[in-house]
Amino acid sequence: MSGFFAHVDWAEIVQATLDTLVMLGGSLLLTLLIGLPLGVLLFLTGPGGPWRSRVANGALALLVNLLRSVPFIILLIVMIPVTVLLVGTSLGVAGAIPPLVVGAAPFFARLVETALREVDRNTIEAVQAMGATTRDLVFRALLPEALPGIVAGATVTAIALVSFTAMAGVVGAGGLGDLAIRFGYQRFQTDVMLVTVALLLALVQLLQMAGDALVRRFTRT
């Protein structure tokens, strides 16, 4: 038990990394699936949108703001009964995904809404003036035009989810964050802390690079 990485149990690091990746992948997928339509609805019901409605937009905005105003650590605890109902447990990787999605989806929805607002007003009018249905407008114009912005938003969301997964360690979710807290922090094993932080950094870096590459791929201006 000598050397700098004396406390590091590499098998456990690998397991924690896998847990983090599964939590991230699962929650990101669901966040995109829920947040994207929510963001589109926020835009369509918003001022100037084809389904403009103060009531519907107000209700959606209230829901989104409510979920976004709850600190994630509180959301983790408040969600426990709902999580048990949904996935049968509030522990482990599966137990972490519902609160992760509930925390991240409203955030991503706002980013989607912002990206859609960036679409040129004349472009939207031009497509409406062709006799497009709202469905045509969304799928043939709004989403393709806003794609770079939406991908950038997904990247930001994925990175936010990485830090959320670390926090989920508090309620026994496992993963790199959990490892960092239990060994690195609570047992003063600085080497474990360093390894987990380095891995999280590498993960964030990879996500950002992949996101940036996709944004470039979809940008035509």
Partner 1 sequence: MIRLENVHKHYAAGRAALAEVDLEIARGEVFGIIGRSGAGKSTLVRLLNGLERPSGGRVLVDGIDLANLDGAGLRALRRRVGMIFQNFGLLSARTVFDNVALPLRIAGADAATIRARVPELLARVGLADYGTRYPAQLSGGQKQRVGIARALATGPDILLCDEATSALDPETTRSTLALIADLNRELGLTIVLITHEMEVVRQVCDRVAVLHAGRLVERGAVADVFLAPGTAETRALLHEDEAAATPIPFDGAVLRLTLRGEAVAAPVLSRIARETGTDVAILDGRVGQFKDERFSQLTLGLSGGDTKAALAALHGLGAVAA
Residues near partner 1 (CB under 8 A): 120-133, 136, 140-141, 144-145, 147, 218, 220-221
CB of 161 to partner 1, least distance (A): 27
Closer to partner 1 at the Cβ: 84 or 132? 132
CB of 110 to partner 1, least distance (A): 22
Closer to partner 1 at the Cβ: 19 or 145? 145
Q: Could you tell me which residues come within 8 angstroms of residue 193 by beta carbon, excluding any fewer than 6 positions away?
A: 180, 183, 184, 185
Distance between CA atoms of residues 80 and 157, nearest Å: 22
Distance between CA atoms of residues 71 and 83, nearest Å: 17
CB of 132 to partner 1, least distance (A): 5
Distance between CA atoms of residues 106 and 201, nearest Å: 25
Closer to partner 1 at the Cβ: 41 or 150? 150
CB of 75 to partner 1, least distance (A): 36
Going 66 to 69 to 73 to 74, the CA torsion angle's sign is negative
Contact 191, 7 (CB under 8 A): yes
Closer to partner 1 at the Cβ: 26 or 144? 144
Instruction: Please state at what angle helix 190-218 crosses helix 10-45, rounded to 10 degrees.
Output: 40
For residue 88, what is the DSSP state? Answer: S
CB of 55 to partner 1, least distance (A): 15
Closer to partner 1 at the Cβ: 69 or 121? 121
